[in-house]
Amino acid sequence: MLKVKNLTIGEGKPDICVPLVSSNLEDLEKECEALKDSVANLMEWRVDYLLNKEDFHATRDLDKAWKIIRKYFPDKPILTTVRTKSQGGAHKTPGGDYIGLLSLIIASRWADILDVEYGHEMMDTKVLVSRARKQGIPVLMSYHKFKRALSEMEILDVLENMRFFKPDIEKIAVMPQNYVDVAALISAAARFDQKHPEIPVITIGMGEMGVLTRISGNHLGGPITFAAGLNPSAPGQLLCDEVRTLQAIIEQQFYK
């Protein structure tokens, strides 16, 4: 379990996270205004979308964007993410630029939780996690595979390898090709949770086939479920209100 602001992630009803995917400050303001009364428990700021802004200046534009987000969501935790193109992001961000951006975000404290991608240079990743920890920012370590699914053993291997960096949350998202792939995601999450109950783990099947993984709940790969606000940030995301409705249906049985 992880305590962030008013949330305890991994306990009770799964938390809904809605992405902010605007590519300029004006649209970000409108997006935040439209979602300010959302039932989401936390917001994900997808910084990679903003990198497409014309004449983007990291320090100036990220500071302005953070102030806009905080104005509309003063109490909700913000998961800050720079998703690289190779892992499904909206902007091609070379490794050096990625490390630099995350270092700036950490130093400026523009995150309540920081997404750090698994798969970059080991020393760079260790430095980012260490810097975030010194600032008191929890780390969600993520790995995305859009071209294929992973077997259950491959998922478990990645989750175990992530543990080397001591993140606070672990996340894997893949593109299942059949229901065996979907079952592998849920089973791997359950097995990992049983072995390491102190680490919330998120396993997501993207696309229509993976929808079940988005409502699977705690201990089965869904302590946080990512749902679309105005626009989805990944294929297969349900709308926020749809997720809340589904949670309400099964709440009495599973989330007591």
Cβ proximity of 201 and 193 under 8 Å: yes
Angle (nearest 5°) at CA 243 between 117 and 159 = 30
Out of 53, 91, 171, 219, pick the active-site residue: 171
Out of 76, 91, 144, 145, pick the active-site residue: 144
- 171 belongs to the catalytic site: yes
Distance between CA atoms of residues 167 and 112, nearest Å: 14
Structure tokens at 192: 């990992």
- 144 belongs to the catalytic site: yes
Of 13, 68, 50, the C-alpha closest to 225 is 13
User: Which residues participate in catalysis according to the annotation?
Assistant: 144, 171
